[in-house]
Amino acid sequence: MTLYNLHEHAKAMELLLNNIADCTTDSNIKSYDKAIRFYADKLDTVWK
């Protein structure tokens, strides 16, 4: 939340997504583990 309030939105989301991937026991989220980790630091990337 501190990073978000400091307008470090991308870093805040990266940490949040990686934390979710690290800590979840939800099988639906676990099925997206590879994608979550890959895109966590690429949220502003536009894919063509």
| Residue range 3-32, pLDDT digits in tens | 999 999 999 999 999 999 999 999 999 999
pLDDT-derived band at 45 (thresholds 50, 70, 90) equals very high
pLDDT at 38: 97
Domains of the chain as residue ranges with CATH: 2-39 (1.25.40.10)
In this predicted structure, the answer to whether residue 33 has a pLDDT above a threshold of 90 is: yes
Angle, CA 22 vertex, CA 30 and CA 39 arms, to 5°: 70
Distance between CA atoms of 23 and 26, rounded to whole angstroms? 9
pLDDT at 47: 86
